[in-house]
Chains A and B, each alone.
Chain A
Amino acid sequence: MFSFTKEQKIFEISGVKIGGQPGNLPTVLFGGFFFKGEPYFDTAKQQIKDMYILSNKTGNPVIPDFFIKKEENLEKIIEFIIKEIPKNKPFSVDIIEPDLKIKTLEILSNKNLLKRTVYNSIHIGTTNEERQTLKKHIPEMAIVVAFNPKDKSPDGKIEVLENSAHLLDKGLLDIVKEVGVKKILIDTAALAPGNYSGAAIAAIPVIKEEYGYPTGCAIHNVVEKSSWLKNFEDSRGIVDVASNINIPVFGGDFAIFGPVERANQVFPIVAWEDILISEYTENYFGITPDNFHPRRKFFE
């Protein structure tokens, strides 16, 4: 285990704290909903409740992450968020199409939801129109995806944060500053196996040491694309769940996991790893765990 020499930032959104030195705060879990595009509200309603129960049990904060892929579903998903996510808790909107991102920001602003919004995400595909809209409707927190099509290595991820690998007029971190988002999370952009997928994990300590920003990724996506696991069908789910512990092991702060059906396995396994790391970092580096850390929940 290790500790970073760079001061580590901790950002808070609606009571959820993310970041810091390994062993300080529990890993925050983003659970993905509606990935396939069609919302399934009845099932999702129960899954969200279950995740909050799991979160209370282990101490790992949860942020529901809502994929919005079709404009026709936008208002319905926002209404669902208003109704089902407690007013003191954050949520994340995960959208790719720039026009839909702009419309979502406008609606979230109209409904006074931006203070609870994690904007997923700012990246090399972020358009000028989107940037202008972000300036007008600033979300409380944004995920910056360090995907660099020119270079998948950890250095390539630094490059895209610094200068967008010259694919945009400025680096992603400067774009964040320009639009006025103060709290950011760095997603190290997990890639398909064979496409340097390990770099997403290796990049976590590199980026935290370089910038001190809260860092994580959706490492489970790599499992989904590991076609060789078809030969081990019984194990695929286990590997998917277990992949998430890479985040705390490498000093990371958040894991975007899915499908949410696996939440009841993901929470305890990540909490288990958080406890191990906390024990070591407290003994060796003097990093005390937060009051809601799984170690406090289960051992004090």
Chain B
Amino acid sequence: MSKVKTTVIGSYPVDFDNLEFFKNYSNQNLTSWKNYINVAVDDMIKAGIDIVSDGQTRDPFVNIFLRKLKGCRIRERPEIIDKIKYKESITVEDIKYVRSIIPKKHGLVGLIAGPHTLTCSCVDMFYNDEKELAFDFAQALNFEIKKLVKYVDIVSVDEPFYSISMPDYAKELMKTVLDGVSCTKRLHVCGDVTKKISNLLDLPFDILSHEFKAKPKLFDSFKEYNVTKNICLGCVRSDDVRVETKDEIKDHIQKGINVFDNKIVQLSPDCGLRMLPQKVAFEKLKNLVKACREVYG
């Protein structure tokens, strides 16, 4: 098997049965999310994705974390109302479930919303100090990752806000998040990171993941640097319902190879797929897998 793996960034679209949720409540049965996780994971497996995720079906990815951390409350914009503390597993139970249902040949990625993104997503009514808040998030996330690594092959930290702002303490922040974590570590930053590349290359991750399909100018920008890290190449758009053909994806991979050569270790969509119709998301994944097999065998 090729050392280049197909994978996902995180989320996958599913349709919820709200009436079923309510009927379960009405019958005083516990709410189960397994059906929705099954839909997402089944599609990834059927498409042939090597390293799957839990699909992040519960919520927008930031809310998945903020909902379960002490000190946050969910409002139209989440609010920080107390000191951030880790009080319970956030994604671990879902990940354990996914591990139990996927064939052994498939890998599993554990997904973490980054501390800077969490900080920027909230209205701070407690700290009045962005850095202190970010480090408390980082500490809490570290607890989650340490639990998560028992069940996953890699962890991926998602920091979309790095494309807009990157604090000067970003490296220390990520060291806190990843302290004591020995598995493969990926950083995903979507958006235009052309001006942030040198900083990104300095962060303590093994793999950098970016949306090369929507932002092809990233290829030229990365050429300017000695890229020492491995690359997860975004190959299909997550914000466009048009399904890229296999040949189009192969051409794109070739562009990536021209820049990164054997540093490419993963092929993925540009970002999470939750905003796409499920059928479109599935077709994109299928074509991504076909293209990968033809390029890398």
Chain A positions within 8 Å of B, measured between CB atoms, are: 96, 98, 123-125, 127, 145, 147, 149-151, 155-156, 158-159, 162-163, 165-168, 189, 191-192, 194-195, 221, 224-225
Contact = CB atoms under 8 A, between A and B. Distances in A.
A255 B156 CA distance: 47
Nearest to B58: A150
30 contacts: A96-B19, A96-B23, A124-B18, A124-B22, A125-B18, A125-B20, A125-B21, A125-B22, A127-B19, A147-B21, A147-B22, A147-B25, A149-B25, A149-B31, A150-B58, A150-B59, A150-B67, A151-B74, A155-B73, A155-B74, A156-B74, A162-B75, A162-B76, A167-B16, A191-B25, A191-B28, A192-B28, A192-B29, A195-B30, A195-B31
Given A191-B28, A192-B28, A225-B28, A123 B22 contact: yes
B26 A96 contact: yes
A159 B75 contact: yes
Interface string B1-41: 00000000000000010111111111011110000000000
Contact of A151 (B20, B23, B67): B67
Contact of B21 (A149, A155, A166): A149
A36 to B, nearest CB: 12
Contacts, number: 60
Contacts of B74: 151, 155-156, 159
B73 A96 contact: no
A175 to B, nearest CB: 12
Interface in B209-259: none
Interface of B: 16, 18-26, 28-31, 58-60, 67, 73-76
B58 A98 contact: no
Contacts of A191: 25, 28
Nearest to B21: A149
A258 B270 CA distance: 54
A108 to B, nearest CB: 21
A68 to B, nearest CB: 13
A227 to B, nearest CB: 11
A147 B29 CA distance: 13
Contacts of A125: 18-23
Interface of B is mostly: loop
Contacts of A149: 21, 24-25, 31
A191 B21 CA distance: 12
Nearest to B25: A147
Given A125-B19, A125-B21, A192-B30, 12 more contacts: A96-B23, A96-B26, A98-B19, A149-B25, A151-B67, A165-B59, A166-B60, A167-B16, A168-B18, A191-B25, A192-B29, A221-B28
A124 B17 CA distance: 10
A156 B31 CA distance: 14
Contacts of B16: 167
Contacts of B18: 124-125, 167-168
A41 B41 CA distance: 50
A195 B18 CA distance: 18
A2 B28 CA distance: 31
A94 to B, nearest CB: 10
Contacts of A98: 19
A54 to B, nearest CB: 27
B260 to A, nearest CB: 37
Nearest to B74: A159
Nearest to A98: B19
Nearest to A152: B31
A91 to B, nearest CB: 20
B294 to A, nearest CB: 38
Nearest to B64: A150
Contacts of A145: 22, 25
A163 B76 CA distance: 7
A163 B21 CA distance: 16
Contacts of B26: 96
A151 B16 CA distance: 15
A158 B75 contact: yes
B221 to A, nearest CB: 35
A201 to B, nearest CB: 16
Contacts of B31: 149, 195
Nearest to B59: A150
A46 to B, nearest CB: 27
Contacts of B58: 150
A165 B23 CA distance: 17
Nearest to A194: B30
A179 B151 CA distance: 47
Contacts of B25: 145, 147, 149, 189, 191
